[in-house]
Each structure stands twice: as C-alpha cells, then as structure tokens.
Amino acid sequence: ADDCAFAPCLAGYYMTESGCEQCEENSYSGAGASSCVTCPEGMVSSAGSSSADDCAFAPCLAGYYMTESGCQQCGENSYSGAGASSCVTCPEGMVSSAGSSSADDCHPGTERPVCDCWTEVCGYCTDPRCSVGCLRSLLGWILYDREWL
C-alpha cells in the first residue's frame, strides 16, 4: 500500500498530499508540477492556466492605456476610458491633466499667450486667445488686458 502514488497532474494543476489541485487565478503550471508559478507582477490569468503564455496584463484603468510593458498613464491634454489601448487627444484649445479619464476632463486652457503689438504674434494681438490685446488709436497701439473687458 505504501507503493501507491497519484498519477502526475495535468497542466494547470499541481500535486498536493491529497491529489491534484487546480492552480488559482494569476498562476499557472505545466504537467506534473508540484506547485504553481505566479504570473509576473501586473499580469493575470484564469484558474487552471497551463503556461506563462496564459498570463496577460490586466485591462488598464481609465486614464491609462496599454503598452507592451503594461499600463501607462495618459499624458496632459489627453484622456482614456477603462481598457484603452491608446489615449484620445483633447479637442484643439482644450487641456486636461495627466491621467484624465474622459472627454469631460478637457476644458479650455487658462493660459493665454502674451502678445506683442509690434509683431505678427497673435495677428498683432487680434487673436482672442491672447491675454493682452491691442487697440489702435491716433497715438499708435495701446495695450489692454482682455480680462478687464
């Protein structure tokens, strides 16, 4: 009776004192294993996985996107929903902080370029995005702060 032994376990299972047990989630084993191997950090697998190839990165949270090396945070002026493979750029003129998770996070930029009335920058300050505007008077150009209007 002491010569009795369990048959080797199938891949996805490991040997215990009472027989074969299935590997838990986020681990795997080959045939005949005495233990399961944990998937690399940040990777997941279903219970009973039979090889490292079964380990995959968990879907990314909103504000992140999947790369070959795992989840990366979306940069400024972009966003992503959960499970994204890339980030979406905010519409032109809109900004967002890094890690934004929806288009609702995009908002008009508050920083405006400062204009120089004597150059073509901002079309001689006629561009409404400029923080300083220019008015032409009989004396020449007059600067004004758009926030005061």
Q: Distance between CA atoms of 47 and 22, rounded to whole angstroms?
A: 7
Residues 72-102 have pLDDT tens digits of: 999 999 999 999 999 999 998 888 999 999 9
Q: Is the per-residue pLDDT at 14 higher than 90?
A: yes
Number of CB atoms found within 10 A of residue 48's CB: 18
pTM of the model: 0.53
* Segment among 11-15, 32-36, 58-62, 133-137 with least mean pLDDT: 133-137
Taking the CA of residue 42 as centre, how many other CA atoms within 13 Å lie in the half-sphere pointing to its CB?
11
- Higher-pLDDT residue of 36, 93: 36
User: What does the pLDDT read at residue 41?
Assistant: 86
Residues 96-134 have pLDDT tens digits of: 999 999 999 998 876 554 555 545 555 545 555 555 555
User: What's the whole-number mean pLDDT along residues 30-41?
Assistant: 95
- The confidence band for 144, taking pLDDT boundaries of 50, 70 and 90, is very low
Q: How high is the mean pLDDT of the chain?
A: 81
Dihedrals φ, ψ of 16, to 5°?
Answer: -120, 180
Local structure of 113: helix, strand or coil: coil
Dihedrals φ, ψ of 147, to 5°?
Answer: -65, -20
